[in-house]
Structure 1
Amino acid sequence: MKLNNILLLFLVIFIIADIKAQEVAGYAHYAVVRSTDSINNTPADLSIINLYPFVSKVAAMMRFKLEFTTTNSMFNRVKTMELEKVSDEDIKTTETLIGYRDTSWHDASYFYRFDRDMKNPLDKKGLILKTRNNFDWNISAETKQIGEFTCYKAKGDKVISYREGGEYKIRKTPVIAWFCPEIPVPFGPVFGRDLPGLIFEFQYDGIVYGLTDINLTTKAEIAPLPNKEILTKEEWRERLYKLAKELNIPYQ
């Protein structure tokens, strides 16, 4: 075997070994805090929070689980004994005000979550909506210790597109993430993603999801996407527009 071929073989073996070394799987649990102060909330947000004073207390009872590999993840709320005495209505209100909708999934390109199918509005899990989250992260050298791990700070924006007056507009909400490069997984709680390490803490709109514990395993039991129709946000909007037109309902 020629020297060049031998060097190439060793290079390939090294690359494969390095890739395998980066394969990570496991699960992480998170708690959530909902701020009620005027620093982290707009006046509109505060007025809503004041209508539901139980939200902070109920949010403190909630726990969430992120199951992950290097290529996929699933995030959902887990049952706790404390919540058994809380009404379903108060739980749903709290979920809304902490930015949690339902079980969600990530893969290398998209974020997936349940949404209503306008053909059957009563079915809250009628289809799967897939979106790309473009946070345009700015990673800083600032670090902090979370448990035994060193995490780095990243700032970005949650980009939301909406329709107003017949035109699509963009609104940006600042987000902050503390991520851990020691765990090379590009996922995090709720819709957080696309950083070179697992997100330990995720902050936005006066909401903070923080890691409580983590368990690294050889594999994660990630449930596959439900067998439902998958639409992009643009396709979903187009369907809604056509339905509104058929029903002669104004749609902005």
Structure 2
Amino acid sequence: MIHKKVVVILLFSLNILFSQSGQVVYEAMSKKYPETKENKGDVQIKNLENARISFELKFNNQNSFFYKLSLNKEDGYNLAEETLLIMLGFKEVYFELKEKLLHEDYGEFLIKTPSNHNWNISSESKKINNYLCYKATCTESYTARDGKNKERVITAWFCPELPYSYGPLEYNGLPGLILELEKNGNKVVAKSIVLSDKKISLELPNKKRISKEEYNQKIKENSEF
């Protein structure tokens, strides 16, 4: 259920002149690990806690594209950053707003999956970059390292003042731009937001689109695409 205060803000946001497109730069950071006798002075944990990764979300009124920014290609492989990417479950994704479909680029083709997060919006609020945001949560299933199916809670802070149903990673579908997302204790936070009246072209790559099930079946059959 959406709180009455949130509804008022959502209705107000509908009167805002929609910009044609936008670009958001996010920064990802690891959760903090409690110090124990076993991990005291662990360099890898300290490096992970200090790791920062920049992403960008480009969007128009139809599609969005979320990807990692390569700010310094000379840095090469960074174990802490790669670990954080894995913990976030990062992948470059296109999102079709109308069809509510995510598309992951696999080189010669796109894997499509439905984006149907069942968000629970609360009245809890806070400001992020001077924007008033509201808290939303959803529960998702995942396969843990031990092979067991488990559940985790995803927390998002979205801004009704920015009425765009986009967000970082594969998370979308809220009545406002997601400015902060928490997954497994790791956070992705918006650092800069630029809106434009000119539409950014975000056409999906002209590649064969298949479902995850079709992809797995093709792999199983060892067929060529």
Change in 2 beyond 3 A, CA 1:161/1:235: farther
1:177 aligns with 2:166: no
Larger helix fraction of residues: 1
Deviation, 1:85, is: 4.5
Mapped to 2, the partners of 1:236 and 1:79 lie a distance apart of: 29
Q: 1:105 aligns with which of 94, 103, 128?
A: 94
Cα deviation digits, residues 6-56 of structure 1 (max 9, x gap):
xxxxxxxxxxxx799345421111101111426xxxxxxx9xx98676333
55, 64, 67: which one aligns with 2:55 = 64
Query: In the aligned structure 1, how far is the partner of 2:15 from the partner of 2:141?
Result: 32
Alignment CA distance shift 1:50-1:154 (3 Å): farther
Q: In the aligned structure 2, how far is the partner of 1:243 from the partner of 1:137? A: 38
Instruction: Say if 2:15 is the partner of 1:26.
Output: no
* 1:43 counterpart residue number: none
Match of 1:145 in 2: 127
> What SS does structure 1 have at the residue aligned with 2:222?
helix
Alpha-carbon distance, 1:99 to partner: 2.4
- Alpha-carbon distance in structure 1 between the residues aligned to 2:150 and 2:76: 34
Distance (whole Å) between structure 1 residues aligned to residue 87 and residue 221 of structure 2: 30
Correspondence for 1:54: 47
More strand by share: 2
Partner Cα distance (1:114, 1:208) in 2: 24
Which residue of 2 is the match for residue 74 of structure 1? 65
In structure 2, the CA distance between the partners of 1:220 and 1:99, relative to structure 1 (3 Å rule), is farther
Write the deviation string for residues 52-80 of structure 1: whole angstroms up to 9, x where unpaired.
763333x31x2111111232111111232
Question: 1:131 is aligned with what amino acid?
Answer: T
Aligned amino acid, residue 174 of structure 2: L
CA drift of 1:93 comes to 4.5
CA distance in 2, matches of 1:219, 1:157: 36
Measure, in 1, the Cα distance between the counterparts of 2:126 and 2:101.
29
Contact 2:141–2:149, Cα closer than 8 Å, also in 1: yes
Q: Does 1:88 align with 2:81?
A: no
Cα contact 1:67–1:222 (8 A) shared by 2: no
In the superposition, relative to structure 1, how do residues 234 and 88 fare at CA in structure 2: closer, same or farther (>3 Å)?
Answer: same
1:156 paired to 2:138: yes
Whole-angstrom distance in 1 between the partners of 2:84 and 2:128: 26
Q: 8 Å contact 1:104–1:190 — kept in the other structure?
A: yes
Contact persistence 1:67–1:220 (CA under 8 A):
no
Unaligned stretches of 5+ in structure 1? 1-17, 39-45, 116-124, 245-252
Q: Cα deviation per residue 1:165-213 (whole Å; 9 max; x = unaligned)?
A: 9xxx964321000000111111101111010000000111122100101
Max radius of gyration: which structure?
1
CA distance in 2: counterparts of 1:197 and 1:20, whole angstroms = 12
Structure 2 residue ranges without an equivalent (≥5): 1-13
CA RMSD of aligned residues (A): 3.1
| 2: CA distance, partners of 1:140 / 1:24 | 28
- In the other structure, the counterpart of 1:218 is 197
